[in-house]
Amino acid sequence: MVEGLMSAACLAEVLERVRAVDGVTRVGLSLNRAGRSRMTVHCARWVETGELRRAVSSAGSFHVAEPARTDGAAPVPGRVVYAAERFSTGSIQ
């Protein structure tokens, strides 16, 4: 999830920066001006989440939000949760 996107121009800038990360093959980003915008990144190789966070931050005043925990536990700062079915293909959310 990306926080801080307010316009199509913001969305385009974030997409451009994330696509420029070595190993990224495809990026999907849905603009939600009222909150967190969902971003899905597909990679040809393993890409560290820090690289993706830096790419998002370099586009402006945006950042990758920690995903909500579904098990009721408190979120772990600095950690991104991977969906099991996407982990094996190198795709992350």
Could you tell me if 18 and 52 are in contact, meaning their C-beta atoms sit under 8 angstroms apart? yes
Domain that holds residue 37: 2-87
Q: Average pLDDT, stretch 16-23?
A: 93
Q: State pLDDT tens for residues 35-71.
A: 788 888 888 888 888 888 899 988 887 877 765 555 5
Q: Where residue 82 sits, what CATH number does that domain have?
A: 3.30.70
Q: State pLDDT tens for residues 28-37.
A: 888 887 778 8
Helices (H), the chain: 8-19, 49-58, 84-87
According to the model, what pLDDT value does residue 66 have?
62
Q: How many domains is the chain built from?
A: 1
The whole-angstrom separation of Cα 85 and Cα 43 is 14
Has residue 66 been placed in a domain?
yes
For 63, the token pair is 């950042």
Partners of 40 in beta bridges: 28
- AA letter at 12: A
pLDDT band at 22 (very low <50, low <70, confident <90, very high): very high
Has residue 10 been placed in a domain?
yes
